[in-house]
Structure formats: C-alpha cells, structure tokens
C-alpha cells in the first residue's frame, strides 16, 4: 500500500480476532512512534506496551471507551520534567506530540495488517496505578491494538470544501466544490 492508501484506508478498529501480536511486529510499530515529530524534538513521551493478558484486562477495566478484545494496548503519555510541570504551553505541545505519535502507531499498525483505536475515555489514576508509573508521568491516550476481524467502512467525514478556505476565512475554493 502507498502511504496515501494507508492514510485513506485506516479506520478505528473496535473488533479483533484472536491472532497473537508478534513481538517483532509490535516492535516495528513502536519504532514508528519513536521517529514521530515532537515540539523542539524533546520526545518527552513514554509508551508502555501492555502485552500481559491479565494486565490488559485491568487496563480495559479503566477504559470505558475501550471496545473489542484487542491482543494488546499501548499507553502513550508524557514524562514531565520538574521545571515544566503542567505549564500550559508545554502541556499543549506535549499533547500534540502524543497525537502525532499515536497517528504514526495507528498508520504503522494498519500498514502491517493490524489495527487499533485511540482511546481518550479512560480513568487516568486507574491506569497510572496499574502500570505503576511515577507522579510525573501523565497518560494521554490508550491505544488498543490487534488483528482486525472486520474492516469497517469509513464513518461520515465532512467534505473538503466544507473545511478548507482559500486565502481568507470563509472564502471557498471553487475547485473543491465538485469533489466527493
């Protein structure tokens, strides 16, 4: 698949078959998080791969938004340095960093025949307790991962002409209007 095809056909996966995730495959996916862009290239992130089925069950118990019997999960979060603890700009940049890394994870998973879903609906202190993380680690997203048992169709997306203006606010770009 070309990069464009991978981006276009990626879907949030909420239903998985029971094929085990090979360690070398997840390692490759996690490496795509490692090379993601980050503000100032600070890479303040940590990714905790949940492979153990008992721990995975406990993680799922903390996540009302976690659907399906995924073979694994990744907790993506920020490790704050003492001097930057929760300052607004830093936390905004940090959240963006996790967003970029998560998309790389989801795209890499899809390219390798797996799938997953970004999950923001979780109880942060519950996750921190299960993974035994220090206080300066903030879980930002949980990512389910596994082999999809169905390939969902694309949910409704807005038309390009509804979300793109040209040169100034509100000015429609004519050429986009005939596009699906």
Ligand X SMILES: Cc1cc2nc3c(=O)[nH]c(=O)nc-3n(C[C@H](O)[C@H](O)[C@H](O)COP(=O)(O)O)c2cc1C
Q: What count of other Cβ atoms lies within 10 Å of the Cβ of residue 45?
A: 21
Q: Which is nearer to ligand X, 90 or 102 (CB)?
A: 102
DSSP code, position 153: P
Q: Is 41 in a helix, a strand, or coil?
A: helix
Q: Is 65 in the site for ligand X (CB under 6 A)?
A: yes
Find the part of the chain contacting ligand X (CB under 6 A) among 8-16, 25-33, 34-42, 82-90.
8-16
φ, ψ (nearest 5 deg) of residue 177: -70, -25
DSSP code, position 65: T
Token pair in block for residue 70: 């995924």
Q: Which is nearer to ligand X, 65 or 113 (CB)?
A: 65
Q: How many residues bind ligand X (CB under 6 A)?
A: 11
Which of 12, 36, 38, 43 contacts ligand X by CB under 6 A? 12
Q: Which is nearer to ligand X, 37 or 65 (CB)?
A: 65
Report which secondary-structure segment, H or E, holds 166: none
Residues 144-173 that bind ligand X (CB under 6 A): 155
Q: Is 11 in the site for ligand X (CB under 6 A)?
A: yes
Nearest to 33 by CA among 19, 17, 18, 49: 49
Residues that bind ligand X (CB under 6 A): 11-12, 14, 65, 67, 117-121, 155
């Amino acid at each position: 698949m070309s990069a464009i095809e991978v981006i276009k056909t990626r879907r949030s996966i909420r239903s998985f078959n029971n094929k085990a995730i090979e360690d070398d495959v997840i390692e490759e996916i996690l490496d795509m998080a490692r090379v993601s862009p980050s503000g100032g290239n600070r890479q303040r992130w940590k990714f905790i791969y949940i492979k153990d089925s008992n721990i995975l069950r406990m993680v799922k118990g903390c996540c009302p938004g976690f659907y399906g019997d995924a073979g694994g999960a990744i907790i993506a979060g920020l490790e704050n340095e003492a001097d930057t603890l929760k300052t607004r700009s830093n936390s905004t940049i940090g959240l963006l960093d996790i967003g970029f890394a998560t998309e790389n994870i989801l795209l890499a998973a899809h390219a390798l025949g797996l799938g997953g879903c970004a999950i923001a609906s979780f109880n942060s202190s519950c996750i921190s307790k299960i993974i035994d993380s220090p206080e300066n680690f903030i879980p930002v997203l949980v990512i389910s991962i596994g082999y999809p048992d169905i390939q969902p169709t694309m949910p409704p997306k807005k038309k390009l002409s509804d979300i793109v203006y040209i040169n100034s606010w509100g000015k429609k770009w004519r050429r986009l209007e005939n596009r699906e």
